Structure 1
C-alpha cells in the first residue's frame, strides 16, 4: 500500500511544489548515520493539496536532488511554476534543470538564519525591519523596501545586509504569484505539522535498522496524512488557480524590452 502510494502516477498540472527535509538516524555498515527524509507535497489546478513523494538521501547533494525531482517528473509531475523549500546546496540548480521553475526560499527559515547572525539585543529591531518588507502588497514595493532595509542595516549589521543582498530574489519570489496564494507559498509551513508527526514517529524508533524500514514507517504516516487532506476542503480556491498563468504573463510583458 505504501509503495503504491509513493509511486502512483501524477496527473494534470501542479503549479506549487513544497519540499522539506527531516533528519533521522539509520544504521549503515555498522555505523549510525543521519539521513534526510525529503517530503514533497504539491497543489494541483483544482486547488487540492497532496503528498506526492518521499526520498531518502543527502540533502546537500545536487545528484540527490536531481534524481528525486526526475523521479517525480517521470511519474507525471508537470506544470510546476514555483518550488518552495529551505536552502539546500544543489537544489536550486536541480529545479532549473528539471522544471525550469522559480524557487522560493522559505521565508521563515531565512528569518531564523538572519536572527542567528545578530546579537540578542538587535534581534527585535532586525525582525521588525524585515517585516516591513513582507507587509508590502506588490512585488515592486517589496523589492524597494528590501533594498532600503538592507541599506539601513549595513552599518550596524553588515552580515545581515550581505545575506539580504544574496537572497533577495529567492526570498521574494512569491510576490510574482497571486496575492491570494502568498500566505501559503512564502514558506514550508504547509508541511510543518506533518513533519512534527514524522519526527515524533521517528523518535519512537530511535535508530532505524535500514532505509527500507524508514520508507515503511514514515511512508505509512504520509499515506494516512494524504487521505486526511483529500477529505478536507480545497487548500486554495479553485477559481484563483487561473491567476497563476496571468501573473506569469505579466512578468513576461514587464520583461520585454521597450521598442526604440
Structure 2
C-alpha cells in the first residue's frame, strides 16, 4: 500500500517502482479502470499487458447506441467474450465492429481503439478469465476500506492510516492465500508463469 495526494502518473510510477525494488517480477497482466495515470505507469515500469475493466467499457460503448439498440449491441459485443481463445475473440471483435460501423460509426471507432485493452485477459488460461476481466475483487476491497475509514473520519497522521488500512489489506491477503478455492492457485497459473512456483512464503507483518 502507499499513501498519495492524487492518482496521477507520478504516484503510480513511484508505487510500481517500489514494488519492483522489493522483488516484483514476471507480471503478465495489470487490470484497472481506464485511468491514464496507472495505465502509463504500468507501461513505463512493468512493460506488461494492461486489461481494461470490461464492464466499464461496455457502459461507454452503450452510450453510443440508442436506447432501443442497447440490448442488441450488448449481445453482439458479448459474442467476442464468449470465444474460446484470444485469436477467435479478436476476430469476432473486428467482425462486430465492422457490422456496427455503417449505423454506429462512433461505437465502431471506440471498439477499434479498445480491442487490445479489453481482450487482453483472453491470453490467460480459461479457468481464470471470469476473475480477470474486471476489478470486482479490488472494488469490493476498496469498499470495505472506505466503510471502515469512514468510521474514523479524520486521521491524525499517515501512521494511523497505515495501521488501519494495512490491517485490512493483510486480512484480505491472508484470505486470498489460505482460501485458495476462492481466487487463483499457483498450480493453475503455472502455464503462464516464467518460473513455476508451488508455494507462497509465509505472510509477515511489518
User: How does the TM-score come out when normalised to structure 2?
Assistant: 0.81
1:238 aligns with 186
Match of 2:107 among 146, 149, 160: 160
Judging by fraction of residues, say which structure has more strand: 1
- Identify unmatched segments of 5+ residues in structure 1: 1-52, 247-260
Post-superposition shift, 1:211? 5.0
CA gap of 1:121–1:64, structure 2 versus 1, over 3 A, is: same
> SS of the residue aligned with 1:137?
coil
What's the counterpart of residue 151 of structure 1?
98
Q: How far did residue 146 of structure 1 move?
A: 0.6
* Superposed CA RMSD: 2.3
CA deviations over 1:120-156 (Å, ceiling 9, x no partner): 3322122111111100011111111111111222233
SS in 2 for 1:84: strand
Runs of 4+ in 1 over 4 A off after TM superposition: 205-213
Larger relative CO (CA 8 A, sep 6+): 1 or 2? 1
Structure (1 or 2) with the greater helix fraction: 2
CA–CA distance in structure 2, aligned partners of residues 164 and 206 of structure 1: 42
For residues 46-72 of structure 1, the C-alpha deviation after alignment (integer angstroms, 9 at most, x for no partner) is: xxxxxxx3443422x221111110111
**Count of aligned positions:** 193
- TM-score, normalised by the number of residues in structure 1: 0.66
Cα distance in 2 for partners of 1:207, 1:112 equals 34
